[in-house]
Structure 1
Amino acid sequence: MRKIALITDSASDISTEDLNKHNIKLLPFKIIFSDKEYDDRLEITPEFLYDALPNEIPTTSLPSIERITNTLREAVAEGCTHAIIITLSSELSGTYNSIRLACENVNDITTFVYDSKTLSMAEGVLVLETAKLIEEGKSFNEIIDIIPTLTSKIDIFFTIDTLEYLKKGGRIGKVAGTIGEVLNLKPVITVGDDGIYHTYCKARGKKQALSKLVEILKSYLAKDKCRIWIMSGNGLEQAQSLFETIKNLENVEECHLGGTIGPALGVHTGPGLFGFIVEKVD
């Protein structure tokens, strides 16, 4: 009998509860401080990271080839004949390529490595939808055909409190960062089909950014029923406001509050992030 393992990296921001509920195996990034390094989500919480950021901005590193290989071998030991591995965008990290290389080390399991072309719970929703397909008893081949069709139904939009962390991480030029801070412009960011960050629009201050996010979401709800996940990176107050504004709108199938941007992504976005993931429902 065929048994399918489901694996993802910690940038998917899936809660520990959902990981355990759906038996999803996690490949943690390393969060590296000057005096210690941690396995993302397993040894360090988002709260710890955001408290530490004023004193030190850590670096991150990919799940090691050894860790990936051991996770696959663990799946084999559990009787899995196949593994589906979903990663954050290959344009934002080398994780996808590392996992593909590691899969070559384990011959007794058939693997499918999928580049989600996104991150955070946009990646996480794709993983959770895949978990449902496995639980429904769909075959490996059926599932890997369905996964790419799900990607086009899931989008992410968020804003950040400061451009400092994106600048320090080399994500934007210094001039762009300076202009944004002087004018209090806050970009509303999305991840395009190409798997990279795009500025969707700009807002002056948090209140206008919140209004822009609501407008964007309403444009989805005007056309489709949607599931929504409200995310926060130490910006819970704004996330709560967003949730209260949209939870009862027409065509909102589900609205979840409480998703937290984990350390692997929080290092690059800093505190104060809030936004949403939207999934169109057939």
Structure 2
Amino acid sequence: MFDIITDSACDLTLDTAKQLGIEVVPFYVSLDGEHYRKEGLEIPVRDFYQFMVDNPAAYPKTSLASIEDFEKAFRAHAEAGRAVLCLVFTGKMSGCVGSARNARDLVLEDYPDARIEVIDSAAATVTESTMVENAVAMRDAGCTLDETVTWLEAEKSTNQIFFTVGDLDYLIKGGRIGKVTGRAANMLGLKPMILFKEGEIFSGGVARGRQKSFEKALEQLMNYLDAHGGTPDDYRITVGYGYDADEGKRLWMQTRAALRAKYPGAQCEVGLLQIGCTIAVHTGPYALGMGVMRRWKKQN
């Protein structure tokens, strides 16, 4: 048996984390660039989004969980003689994996027999959450830590996110997309499609209008399933939304209906969660889309 620790970039709520029996180390959020508060603990995600909507010219920042934060978490488990699996936000967008690994090394100096495995999830938000859920399923099914690490490392490359944003201002500000391209798209009323894979953000094309961008994201998900084979039941699929919960619910319903129409014999379970601060500082308040990763299944 082993314990699971992750960071708040997975966007699982505190209640969900408690239900899953995992520990979440929070990122830090700053609305003014000076004062930082713990995501989800000292500043609710809803308040963060409201600030973004009320202050469109402001660009909040996040800061990764510190070495000390991870060390405190790891040390408690090492003292109790518990092995740890730690899944962290993609190393291509954050130094969080470095913080976690440095913290592990510090704890191992005092507890050389402790077992602390740190995995760069190459994921974020809805796909980091699905990776955590896969780890929980394996833990609860009695898989060893080695078996779990091996499977996650082999399958983490299957995680992808297909999403859109309200405009490109935040991606331009964060240097994720060129100013000329971004401003031209904004002026033409085009909705950018964003692809997250292999731990980083890429352009996924454009769509004309918000509804068309929903349809485009769903089309990209269907293409992914066609390319990778199987049915939706072989994957964990989760819809993520930003400020607008109603919009997220609509896309969730559309996604589930489309999957059930194409795969009538499958259950087509689809999760729904609110995208947290760590990704929202890059995408703005109106990110919307879905993530997918292969689902672990116990072999009979």
Same fold by TM-score greater than 0.5: yes
Give the Å deviation of 1:45.
1.7
Question: How far is the alpha carbon of 1:220 from its aligned partner?
Answer: 4.0
Is 1:144–2:146 an aligned residue pair?
no
- Whether contact under 8 Å (1:163, 1:181) holds in the other structure is yes
- Partners of 1:19 and 1:78 lie apart in 2 by 20
Q: CA deviation at 1:252?
A: 5.1
Aligned residues: 277
2:74–2:116 Cα contact (<8 Å) kept: no
- The superposition leaves residues 99-140 of structure 1 with CA deviations (integer Å, 9 ceiling, x where unpaired) of 111111101221111111121120111011111111222112
Letter in 2 for 1:60: T
Tell me, in whole angstroms, the C-alpha distance in 2 between the residues paired with 1:162 and 1:66. 36
**Distance (Å, rounded) in 2 between the aligned partners of 1:246 and 1:95:** 32
How far does residue 233 in structure 1 lie from its aligned partner after superposition? 0.6
CA deviations 1:188-247 (Å, max 9, x no partner) are 212222x21111221111111011112122334554222321110113333222222221
Q: RMSD value over aligned CA atoms?
A: 1.8
What amino acid sits opposite 1:12 in the alignment?
C
Counterpart AA for 1:265: I
Out of 156, 169, 176, which is 1:171 matched to? 176
Moved over 4 A (4+): none
Quick one: distance in 1 between partners of 2:127 and 2:65?
20
Contact persistence 2:168–2:192 (CA under 8 A): no
* Selected match of 2:269 from 254, 261, 280: 254
CA distance in 1, matches of 2:98, 2:274: 26
For the Cα contact (< 8 Å) 1:45–1:263, is it kept in 2? Answer: no
2: distance between equivalents of 1:254 and 1:89? 25
Q: Which has the higher strand share?
A: 1
Whole-Å separation in 2 of the counterparts to 1:61 and 1:103: 20
- Distance (whole Å) between structure 2 residues aligned to residue 152 and residue 94 of structure 1: 19
Whole-angstrom distance in 2 between the partners of 1:96 and 1:144: 15
Which residue in the other structure is 2:36 paired with?
37
Relative to the length of structure 2, the TM-score reads 0.86
Partner of 2:8: 10
State yes or no: 1:239 paired with 2:273.
Answer: no
- Counterpart Cα distance in 2 of 1:77 and 1:236: 41
Task: Choose between structure 1 and 2: higher helix proportion.
Answer: 2
- 2:223 matched to which residue of 1? 219
1:51 corresponding residue in structure 2: 50
User: What percent identity do the matched residue pairs reach?
Assistant: 30
Q: Deviations over 1:156-186 (max 9, x none)?
A: 1110001111122222221122111011222
Structure 1: 5+ residue runs without aligned partners?
none
Is the counterpart of residue 263 in structure 1 residue 269 in structure 2? Answer: no
Q: Match of 1:266, as an amino acid?
A: A
- Aligned residue number for residue 27 of structure 1: 25
Local SS of the residue matching 1:106:
helix
Go from structure 1 to structure 2 and tell me whether the alpha carbon gap of 1:256 and 1:140 turns closer, same or farther (over 3 Å shift): closer
Query: Which whole-Å CA distance do the structure 2 matches of 1:26 and 1:221 have between them?
Result: 30
Paired letter, 2:280: G
Q: Which amino acid is 1:262 matched to? A: G
Post-superposition CA distance 1:67-107 (Å, at most 9, x none): 11101112223431x21111111110010111111111101
Matches of 2:73 and 2:247, distance apart in 1: 37
Cross-structure match for 1:130: 135
TM-score (norm. length: structure 1)? 0.91
Verify: 1:276 aligned to 2:281, yes or no. Answer: no
Take 1:266 and 1:140, find their aligned partners in 2: how far apart are those partners?
Answer: 32
**Contact 1:160/1:186, CA 8 A, preserved across alignment:** yes
- Partner SS, residue 152 of structure 1: helix
- Residue 101 of structure 2 is matched in structure 1 by 100
Look up the equivalent residue of 2:293 and give its one-letter code: E
Secondary structure of 2:285 counterpart:
coil
Structure 1 pair 221–173 and aligned structure 2 pair: CA distance change class (3 A): closer
Aligned partner letter, 2:203: T
Distance 2:209 2:247 in 1: 12
